[in-house]
Amino acid sequence: MSIIIDSAVVLKSYNNNIVSVKINEEERLLFGKGIGFGKKFGDIIEKGTEVEKVFVIEDEDNLRNFKQVIQNVDEEFLILCEKMISYIASELEEDLDERIHIALVDHLNFAVKRLSNNEEIENPFLPEIKALYQK
């Protein structure tokens, strides 16, 4: 859990649990139960509000791509992916490139859709991945 230390101005509410805000002239994404409920452009989220995650994507192309992914992915699935990314970062004890929030979510979403259509998924690179990334 995090607490936002400055008031945030809502730029866009993607769903009940994800909003894009401006804090100190920097765009951030806030993840939290109900954080986006009933919120619209210009609304204020008060300082001291608890959120599950504050997410900053610095590269404008990555931010645009992430916003597009958010609109095409189920809300609960996105939250699950973000929790997995946080877990991976903590297990590896390092920050991950911000593109993982786009590529991994999009990739997993596509894989889940294929599996739900009973399509077989094979990974021809599994031996190489295991050799290169022991963790």
The domain boundary residue, chosen from 56, 71, 90: 56
In the sheet that 18-23 helps form, which strands lie side by side, from edge to edge?
44-45, 8-15, 18-23, 26-31, 53-55
Number of domains in the chain: 2
Shared-domain flag, residues 129 and 70: yes
Euclidean distance between CA atoms 21 and 29, whole angstroms: 6
Work out the average pLDDT over 45-58.
87
Residues 34 and 61 in one domain: no
Q: Are residues 76 and 127 in the same domain?
A: yes
Based on the fold, state whether residues 126 and 78 are members of the same structural domain: yes
Residues 84 and 131 both lie in one domain: yes
Find the CATH number of the domain harbouring 125: 1.10.1790.10
Report, as an integer, the average pLDDT of 60-82: 86
Question: What are the φ and ψ backbone dihedral angles of 2, each rounded to 5 degrees?
Answer: -130, 160
Instruction: For residue range 15-43, list pLDDT tens digits in order.
Output: 888 899 999 888 888 988 899 999 999 99
Q: What is the CATH number of the domain that holds 46?
A: 2.30.24.10
Domain span at residue 96 reads 57-135
Q: What is the pTM of this model?
A: 0.69
Domain match, 88 and 133 both: yes
Tokens of 28: 């951030």
Same domain for 67 and 94? yes
Same domain, 29 and 76: no
